[in-house]
C-alpha cells in the first residue's frame, strides 16, 4: 500500500472535515494515516482526528474494525467517538475521531518526574485495559510510553492500534507492558511463626563463632518508564522512553561487634532499576508494523536531513514494531540534543528517547 508523504499533511490545517470537524494542527503520521488535533464544531471540544486515504486500506474491513472499537467501553481505554467516509479536495478518506489526551507517558518520562506510586498506578490501569480488549478478541500491539495517555483523571491505553487478535498477540502485549512498566518485585516471604525453631548446634571449642548475617536494605519497586507527559503529543505507533537509572540508597554499614550503639534502620531505596549502559539511548521518530514501511521513512529523512543518520531499529529482533531511530546509539545528553534538533526540523512532536540494552 502506498504511504502518503508527511509533507502533504500540513496543508490540511484549517480545513473543515465532514462539516463537523475543524482541523487545527497536524500531530504526526503512521504507516498510512495522519493524526490531527481538531475542533468539534458542535460544542468546541478538542478531539484527535485520524485520517486515512481511501486507496491505502480495505475500507470495509477498516470501518468494521472501527465499529467494534466504538462499542468498547472501559475506563482504561481511549474512546472512539465517531468514524465515517469523507471527501476533501477531490480525494476520498476514512476518518475516525478519538478522545483528546491531556498528557502522554513518554513526555513525562523525559523528565523522570513520576513517583513509584504513579508508575504502579499506570501499570495497573494498562493491565486492566489489556485484559478487557483481550476478552473482546482484540490486541493492542504497541504497548509503550507513547501509547499510554492521561485523559481527565484516568490513565488509558490509546485505541489507534487496536486490531483483531492473532496467535501470540495477547502474550506480546503483556511482554511489551513488562518492558515499559515492569512489575514490582514481590516482598520477601515472612518466616512461618508456627515453625519449630531448631536450636543451633554447639560450636566446637576450637572453632570461632560465625559472623552475624549481613543486613540488606529494603528493596522497592523495580525499574520502569511510562505515563503522562505534557502533551508534546504522540499519536503515532511508538515505543516507550525510559528515564535514566536512579541511584539506590547504599546499604547500611555493619557496626563493629563491640559497639553498643544500635545501627539505624536501613533507608528505603529510591527506585530500584536495572542499569543498562548509559550509551544505549536512541531517538525514536516513527514506529511501523512492517520493515518496508520503516525503511521508506528512513529514505525520506535521509533525503531531507542526511546528518540525522536515520536507520531502522528492531528492538524485537526481526519482529514488529520497526522503529525509525536517529543518530545511532548515544548517551542521554546527546540523545536529548538530537531530540531537540529533530523537533526543530519538523519531526513529529511525539518523537522521544529511550534507553535500550543493545
- Which pLDDT does position 319 carry in this prediction? 76
- Which pLDDT does position 304 carry in this prediction? 84
pLDDT score of 219 more than 90: no
Among residues 50, 83, 96, 228, the alpha carbon closest in space to that of 152 is found at 228
| CA-to-CA separations, 31 to 12, 38, 73, 163, 325, in angstroms, rounded | 18, 20, 27, 15, 15
What's the topology of domain 274-358?
Alpha-Beta Plaits (3.30.70)
Query: Among 10-14, 85-89, 205-209, where is mean pLDDT lowest?
Result: 205-209
Instruction: Say how many C-beta atoms besides its own lie within 10 A of residue 184's C-beta.
Output: 17
Contacts of 2 (CB under 8 A, 6+ apart): 32, 53, 55, 56
How many angstroms separate the CA atoms of 300 and 297, rounded? 5
Query: Among 193-207, 212-226, 245-259, where is mean pLDDT lowest?
Result: 212-226
Among residues 337, 353, 333, 356, the alpha carbon closest in space to that of 345 is found at 337
Mean pLDDT of the chain: 76
Structure-block grid coordinates of residue 74? 472501559
Q: State the average pLDDT over residues 218-231.
A: 31
- pLDDT of 303-336, one tens digit each? 888 888 999 988 877 777 788 899 888 888 888 8
How many angstroms separate the CA atoms of 38 and 26, rounded? 9
- pLDDT of 234-252, one tens digit each? 333 343 333 343 344 444 4
Burial of 302 (0-12, 13-18, 19+ CB in 10 A): middle
For residues 113 and 243, is the Cβ–Cβ distance under 8 A?
no
User: Cell 490513565, residue?
Assistant: 155
Structure-block grid coordinates of residue 200? 543451633
Question: DSSP string spanning 163-216?
Answer: EE--TTHHHHHHHHHHHHSPPPPPPPPPP-TTSPPPPPPPPPTTSPPPPPPPP-
* Higher-pLDDT residue of 11, 63: 63
321: cis peptide before it, omega within 30°?
yes
Among residues 185, 178, 187, the alpha carbon closest in space to that of 123 is found at 178
Domains of the chain, by residue range, sit at 6-99, 101-185+222-243, 274-358
Is 6-99 CATH 3.30.420.40?
A: no
How many angstroms separate the CA atoms of 139 and 173, rounded? 7
Amino acid at each position: 500500500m502506498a504511504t502518503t508523504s508527511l509533507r502533504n499533511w500540513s496543508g490540511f490545517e484549517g480545513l473543515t472535515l465532514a462539516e463537523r470537524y475543524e482541523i487545527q494542527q497536524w500531530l504526526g503520521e503512521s504507516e498510512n494515516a495522519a493524526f490531527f488535533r481538531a475542533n468539534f464544531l458542535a460544542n468546541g471540544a478538542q478531539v484527535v482526528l485520524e485520517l486515512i486515504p481511501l486507496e491505502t486500506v480495505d475500507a470495509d474491513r477498516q470501518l468494521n474494525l472501527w465499529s467494534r472499537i466504538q462499542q468498547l467501553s472501559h475506563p482504561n481505554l481511549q474512546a472512539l467517538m465517531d468514524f465515517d467516509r469523507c471527501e476533501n479536495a477531490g480525494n476520498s478518506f476514512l476518518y475516525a475521531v478519538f478522545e483528546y489526551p491531556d498528557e502522554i507517558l513518554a513526555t513525562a518520562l523525559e523528565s523522570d518526574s513520576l513517583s513509584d506510586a504513579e508508575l504502579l498506578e499506570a501499570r495497573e490501569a494498562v493491565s486492566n485495559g489489556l485484559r478487557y480488549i483481550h476478552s473482546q478478541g482484540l490486541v493492542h500491539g504497541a504497548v509503550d510510553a507513547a501509547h499510554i495517555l492521561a485523559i481527565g483523571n484516568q490513565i488509558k491505553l490509546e485505541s489507534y492500534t487496536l486490531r483483531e487478535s492473532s496467535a501470540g498477540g495477547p502474550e506480546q502485549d503483556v511482554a511489551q507492558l513488562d518492558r515499559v512498566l515492569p512489575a514490582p518485585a514481590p516482598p520477601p516471604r515472612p518466616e512461618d511463626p508456627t515453625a519449630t525453631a531448631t536450636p543451633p548446634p554447639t560450636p566446637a571449642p576450637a572453632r570461632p563463632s560465625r559472623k552475624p548475617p549481613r543486613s540488606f536494605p529494603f528493596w522497592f519497586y523495580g525499574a520502569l518508564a511510562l505515563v503522562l507527559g505534557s502533551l508534546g503529543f504522540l499519536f503515532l505507533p511508538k515505543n516507550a522512553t525510559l528515564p535514566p537509572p536512579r541511584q539506590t540508597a547504599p546499604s547500611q554499614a555493619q557496626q563493629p561487634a563491640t559497639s553498643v550503639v544500635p545501627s539505624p534502620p536501613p533507608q528505603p531505596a529510591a527506585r530500584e532499576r536495572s542499569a543498562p549502559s548509559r550509551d544505549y539511548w536512541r531517538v525514536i521518530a516513527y514506529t511501523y508494523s512492517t520493515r518496508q514501511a520503516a525503511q521508506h521513512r528512513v529514505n525520506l529523512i535521509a533525503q531531507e536531513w542526511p546528518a540525522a543518520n536515520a536507520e531502522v531499529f528492531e528492538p524485537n529482533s526481526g519482529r514488529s514494531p520497526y522503529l525509525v531511530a536517529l543518530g545511532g546509539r548515544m548517551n542521554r545528553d546527546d540523545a536529548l540534543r538530537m531530540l531537540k534538533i529533530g523537533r526543530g526540523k519538523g519531526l513529529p512532536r511525539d518523537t522521544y528517547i529511550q534507553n535500550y540494552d543493545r
